[in-house]
Amino acid sequence: MPIEQMAPELEHIIDLDAEIKELGSGYGGANGPAEGPLWWHDGNYLLFSDIHNDRRMKWAEGEGATVFSEPTNRANGLTRDLQGHLLAAEHDGRRVSRLSGDGQRITVVANSFQGRQLNRPNDVIVKSDGSIYFTDPWTFPRVANQWEQTISGVYRVSPDLGTLTLLVADFTLPNGLAFSPDESILYVNDSRRGHIRAFDVLPTGGVALSSDRVFAALRGERPGVPDGMKVDVEGNVYCGGSGGLWILDSSGKHLGTIVHGQEATTNLCMGGSDWKTLFFTTRNTLGSVQIKVAGIPAPTDR
């Protein structure tokens, strides 16, 4: 069965016979998958990254997938800031960038810490106060012979872009990240260790390291480790994991898995007019499935 039920609560979130649709294929490759889906609500379309082919794709109902822009510095995670600008975690640029609404101006949000260039930013999210959080894993570079940073970090950029703060420095490979609905918890995947960590968010925007805890372990018998991640309005967590796309409740209980037949889920987002279409990327495909609980819109769409 494409929808594997682990707990009865899953049926509140998704129908067990929900149709899993393939919306496109042929993306990515050996050196980089499809990634970073982002629903552009005011345009009624989806953007996603085709990392290996160094391009940004656009999908719209009735139109399918087309090339939206290229090159992209092999960007991975995408999101929007409070002004509706596009933020991208660029692998080859080794930075987080902001693209203006007219597509003509790029602002560097972050590209170095303590005088040393970032590694390879992977995913990025925005808090409702305008602060920007991103992961910067330590993985093999495309554009440098060696890393300048010696850590795999999770960072916060202040709303005015003036201050970059290292929040957590002991990840093996920090990847996807997401806030709880009230933004009191920051979830961050550690893909190499196979689990999701959770941190309490302080009023100042930092995280309480004393609250650091393993929210859930996602390793299993089938391929795939924790990757992209999103949270719905009820606090359920959706994460790329072993064998498909895992759905967990706010306590970390595994409710079920969407088994789409691909090697692993690389990332996901909620979209559509009611934010109940779950879009997901794999190494080579884009897919979707309908859910019953709405996702949390980007801050610019709330």
Contacts of 160 (CB under 8 A, 6+ apart): none
Nearest to 166 by CA among 209, 129, 130, 128: 209
176/12 Cα distance (integer angstroms): 25
50/70 Cα distance (integer angstroms): 10
| Token pair of 13 as six digits | 């979130």
Q: Is 175 annotated as a binding residue?
A: yes
Q: Is 74 annotated as a binding residue?
A: no
Amino acid at 119: N
Question: Which helix (H) or strand (E) is 300 found in, with range?
Answer: none
Distances in whole angstroms, Cα of residue 19 to Cα of each of 27, 92, 204, 254: 22, 36, 43, 21
In this structure, are residues 257 and 268 in contact, taking their beta carbons and an 8 Å threshold? Answer: no
Q: Is 35 annotated as a binding residue?
A: yes
Q: Is 193 annotated as a binding residue?
A: no
95/121 Cα distance (integer angstroms): 6
In this structure, are residues 267 and 94 in contact, taking their beta carbons and an 8 Å threshold? Answer: no
State the virtual CA torsion across 70, 75, 77, 82 in degrees, nearest 10.
Answer: -70
SS3 231: strand
Active site residue 212: no
Q: Is 122 annotated as a binding residue?
A: yes
User: What is the chain's Cα-based Rg?
Assistant: 18
Write down the catalytic residue from 81, 136, 190, 227: 227
Positions at the binding site for substrate? 120, 122
Positions at the binding site for a divalent metal cation? 35, 175, 227
Catalytic residues: 227
